């Protein structure tokens, strides 16, 4: 599910702010993709200990996060499918089991599609206003964070869930580590 070792994303060691933020987010996305990749439908529903979080649930959750932050909040667009049909009033709390009826391939595709759309949305926003531009949709308190702040929020979101994915993946097949084998081995 990740690009491969030759293309493993890293933030530049001496890049500008945009390249560093994009590189950091892309590294988190790739790490998550590695941790969640190559599993069957049953393995995507494994949880650890008392937690209800599954890799399938994380795939769907992070697809929602991508859509919500970089399409809905950044550009003021309507949510994409399937998020545009969820009755959030009836289901205000997060339910990690909501991915249990989805197929393996549909979960991977949903996440990849939303990541690709986020990349296009970010490129559009950077071309039309840069990191300082406020999000089209304000927070409930009326403040509008900048695109810069939203990048930091997404990097944090992914980092938190990469930790969850790491624990779950280790419980499935023992895969551990910050990077796939072959990355940073030299």
pLDDT, tens only, 91-125: 655 566 778 889 999 999 999 999 999 999 999 99
Maximal CA-CA distance, the chain: 52
Total count of domains within the chain? 1
The alpha carbon dihedral of 163, 42, 86, 79 has a sign of: positive
Residue 181 falls inside a structural domain: no
What CATH number corresponds to the domain at position 33? 1.20.120.450
Question: What domain range includes position 145?
Answer: 5-173
Cβ neighbours around 162 below 10 Å, total: 22
- Residue 114 is assigned to a structural domain of this protein: yes
Q: Is the model's pTM score more than 0.85?
A: yes
Domain membership of residue 178 (yes or no) is no
pLDDT (tens digit, 9 = 90+) per residue, 52-82? Answer: 899 999 999 999 999 999 999 999 999 999 9
């Amino acid at each position: 599910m990740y690009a491969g070792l030759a293309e493993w994303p890293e933030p530049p060691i001496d890049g500008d702010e945009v390249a560093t933020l994009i590189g950091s987010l892309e590294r988190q996305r790739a790490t998550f993709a590695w941790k969640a990749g190559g599993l069957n439908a049953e393995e995507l529903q494994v949880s650890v200990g008392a937690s209800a979080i599954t890799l399938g649930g994380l795939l769907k959750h992070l697809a929602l996060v991508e859509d919500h932050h970089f399409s809905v909040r950044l550009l003021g667009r309507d949510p994409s499918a399937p998020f545009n049909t969820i009755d959030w009033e009836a289901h205000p709390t997060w339910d990690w089991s909501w991915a249990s009826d989805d197929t393996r391939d549909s979960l991977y595709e949903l996440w990849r599609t939303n990541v690709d759309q986020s990349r296009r949305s970010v490129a559009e926003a950077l071309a039309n206003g840069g990191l300082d531009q406020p999000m089209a949709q304000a927070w409930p308190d009326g403040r509008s964070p900048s695109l810069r702040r939203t990048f930091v929020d997404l990097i944090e979101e992914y980092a938190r869930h990469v930790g969850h994915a790491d624990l779950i993946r280790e419980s499935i097949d023992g895969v551990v580590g910050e990077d796939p084998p072959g990355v940073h081995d030299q």
